[in-house]
Amino acid sequence: MSTWPSTRPSTRPIPDTTLDDFRRAQVFFDAGQPAEAARLLDEVVAASPDSTAALELRARALFASAQLGRAEQAFRELVERSPDDAWCRTALARTLERQGRATEAAGQRRIADALTG
């Protein structure tokens, strides 16, 4: 399992109706059960599609549970939302690398390096 930063600030709050599920998903993720976290987060993201925090935790859970195609989709959406976020680009690069797509990953790493340079 990969180690990611535990939390990052969100620009959009999660509505109260899904906050409990988000918190339960965080507990599952922290307990080393990323597949269960991803399952809960599918519902949270569906209910709160503008929540960057929910989408990011979902992407991390998908990555950690080796659901790499879905993780790639989620990280690409995060990059689309914040193209200048080096962390998201690095996470996307790691996901592409795990899928054996080193050339695509290298491009994302170059952009991330330029953003942090």
Q: Is residue 5 part of a domain?
A: no
pTM of the model: 0.84
Chain mean pLDDT for the chain: 90
Q: Is residue 79 part of a domain?
A: yes
CATH of the domain at 104: 1.25.40.10
Both tokens of 16, joined, read 């109260």
pLDDT score, position 15: 55
pLDDT score, position 13: 56
pLDDT score, position 18: 83
Q: Is residue 63 part of a domain?
A: yes
pLDDT score, position 14: 56
* 51 phi/psi in degrees, rounded to 5: -80, 110
Per-residue DSSP letter, 66:
T
Q: Which residues of the chain have pLDDT under 50?
A: 1-3, 5-7, 9
DSSP characters over 73-88: HHHHHHHHH-TT-HHH
Rounded Cα distance between 55 and 78, Å, is 7
* 24 phi/psi in degrees, rounded to 5: -65, -40
CA distances to 51, 89, 92 from 77, in Å: 12, 11, 10
- 103: how many CB neighbours lie within 10 A of its CB? 7
Q: Is residue 78 part of a domain?
A: yes
pLDDT score, position 96: 98
Q: Is residue 59 part of a domain?
A: yes
* 6 phi/psi in degrees, rounded to 5: -70, -35
Domain that holds residue 86: 17-116
